[in-house]
Amino acid sequence: MSFSSLGLSAALVNAAQERAYREPTPIQTTAIPAILAGRDVLASAQTGSGKTAAFCLPLLQTLVNKPRGETRAVQILILVPTRELATQVGETLRILAQHLPQPVKLAVLFGGISINPQMMHLRGGADIVIATPGRLLDLVSHNALQLSAARTLVLDEADRLLELGFADELHQVVTLLPVQRQNLFFSATFSPQVTLLAKTMLHDPVQIEIATTADTAPDIQQRAIVVDAKQRTQLLRHLITSEKWPRVLVFVATKYAADLISTKLRRADINAEAFHGEQSQGKRSQVLSDFKASRLKVVIATDVAARGIDVSQLPVVVNYDLPRSSEDYTHRIGRTGRAGESGLAISFVCADSANEAHFRLIEQRHKIKVAREYIPGFEPTLDGAASGVAASDATVVVAVSDPNGGIKGKRPSKKDKLRALAAKSE
Ligand code: AMP
């Protein structure tokens, strides 16, 4: 199967080939003709599946023969949950559109930076808008853009949009769009919320579910190392040095932990930076571009910030803190092993917390079994932990990990667990 046989013009096929896309991925093979035919699409798109190009290529194709004047009405609206994903989708569109006979005007809009340059950029309109919902509505309320001529709405990472609480904004945006339009939903997971939204918004959609087979599954080796919580930074340092990883993305539970661990690594002469939602947009962009250009070796990131990061040739991801959900686990480890490369995902499982039980749950959900490893010099020291005994009873865990806290017989709340995690990230 080739890109040209899917109905794409030579300019787009060439641009795809220049990006080393030799042939369409399974999601592209199905989505591209459906989108070109004007159909609604509901796609379960795993991370790394090539979903961005699956909608960018056909949407650019629909602009090819459309005459466009000086003032451009927004034709395509792409809603995304995070700034990084907005930037990444914008970048993919820019590169894929570069050989088109008529230039395509893109507007990438997100919060956390001044609104004025975005308002200036929108003078004269735009063909495609890629936006996070909050900033989009801000710009609409400033009369900086109009959406009444948009003929296609894309929700990229629809599950994440809803998880981040954008449901109200989404509904508001929809009221600004024409009733007759094409709707494209891409979502890694199908929560009841996503399914309900899809039911109310999509008309007879082409449903795409790419089964994860040995051919399509990214080649990611998964490892789990049992370690005391307090030893994790030391272990991370040891692994970075002894394994000679050129680049590593490390996930932690809190912004505080990201700042603290990156500072500690820098003190040990390891080129590391934090990456999280409380940094300025300028700082985040700088960290990401330094990481992509290999000027940075280690990035310590939180979940919100790291979703959507696409760094090619990222060989290792480390879960310093375990992710809260098995979906987040998929997203985190999906940062490595992208586009046919192989990758390594290491999870630290703390012997002295409820981590073991939590990691077992992740294993169950993913139908995998990852052998527990012990690294010489970093073996857990707590009773029971050394023998790999699971912390299956949360009450026991509170007593062990926090001798001063935890009331006997009281199960720790979600907040208690988060606080405990934050306290351990030192
Ligand atoms: P995505 O799932 O959109 O995040 O894409 C994952 C990675 O796959 C990105 O780095 C894309 O540039 C790359 N990619 C997309 N389509 C193809 C293709 N047909 N062949 C090879 N790589 C691709």
Whether residues 184 and 223 fall in one domain: no
Q: Ligand 1 pocket: which of 17, 19, 154, 330 to mutate (most atoms <8 Å of CB)?
A: 19
* pLDDT score for 382: 62
Rounded CA separation 319/359 (Å):
11
Whether residues 396 and 328 fall in one domain: yes
Q: Which of 209, 231, 266 is the last residue of a domain?
A: 209
* pLDDT score for 248: 94
Whether residues 111 and 146 fall in one domain: yes
Residue 384 domain flag: yes
For ligand 1, whether the C-beta of 334 sits within 6 Å is no
Rounded CA separation 246/417 (Å):
33
Model-level pTM? Answer: 0.66
Q: Which of 176, 209, 242 is the last residue of a domain?
A: 209
Whether residues 305 and 332 fall in one domain: yes
Residue 32 domain flag: yes
Name the pairing type of β-strands 76-79 and 128-131. Answer: parallel
Answer with the residue of higher pLDDT: 235 or 311. 235
Whether residues 230 and 204 fall in one domain: no
Answer with the residue of higher pLDDT: 50 or 1. 50
Rounded CA separation 138/176 (Å):
13
Whether residues 249 and 298 fall in one domain: yes
Whether residues 204 and 227 fall in one domain: no
For ligand 1, whether the C-beta of 338 sits within 6 Å is yes
pLDDT grade, residue 393 (50/70/90)? very low
Residue 23 domain flag: yes
Whether residues 47 and 189 fall in one domain: yes
Q: Which of 143, 177, 209 is the last residue of a domain?
A: 209
Rounded CA separation 14/321 (Å):
42
Residue 424 domain flag: no
Whether residues 405 and 354 fall in one domain: yes
Distance of alpha carbon 286 from its chain centroid, rounded? Answer: 18
261-291, pLDDT tens digit by residue? Answer: 999 999 999 999 999 988 888 888 899 889 8
For ligand 1, whether the C-beta of 370 sits within 6 Å is no
Closest CA to 116 of 87, 132, 139: 139
Residue 423 domain flag: no
Q: How many domains does the chain have?
A: 2
Whether residues 227 and 94 fall in one domain: no
* pLDDT score for 216: 52
For ligand 1, whether the C-beta of 21 sits within 6 Å is yes
Atom of ligand 1 nearest to the CA of 28: 19
For ligand 1, whether the C-beta of 49 sits within 6 Å is yes
Residue 422 domain flag: no
Contacts 24+ apart (CB under 8 A), 188-193: 188/44, 188/45, 188/46, 188/47, 188/157, 188/159, 188/160, 188/327, 188/330, 188/331, 189/44, 189/159, 189/327, 189/330, 190/44, 190/159, 191/159, 191/162, 191/163, 193/159, 193/162, 193/167
Residue 45 domain flag: yes
Domain of residue 52 covers 4-209
For ligand 1, whether the C-beta of 50 sits within 6 Å is yes
Closest CA to 11 of 102, 103, 99: 99
Whether residues 46 and 68 fall in one domain: yes
Contact between 33 and 199 under an 8 Å Cβ cutoff? The reply is no
Average pLDDT over the chain reads 84
Residue 425 domain flag: no
* pLDDT score for 41: 96
314 CA distance to ligand 1 middle (Å): 14
Closest CA to 90 of 121, 69, 46, 120: 121
Contact between 210 and 49 under an 8 Å Cβ cutoff? The reply is yes
> Residue 224 maps to which CATH number?
3.40.50.300
149-167, pLDDT tens digit by residue? Answer: 999 999 998 988 887 788 8
> Range with the lowest mean pLDDT among 98-107, 352-361, 404-413?
404-413
Whether residues 227 and 190 fall in one domain: no
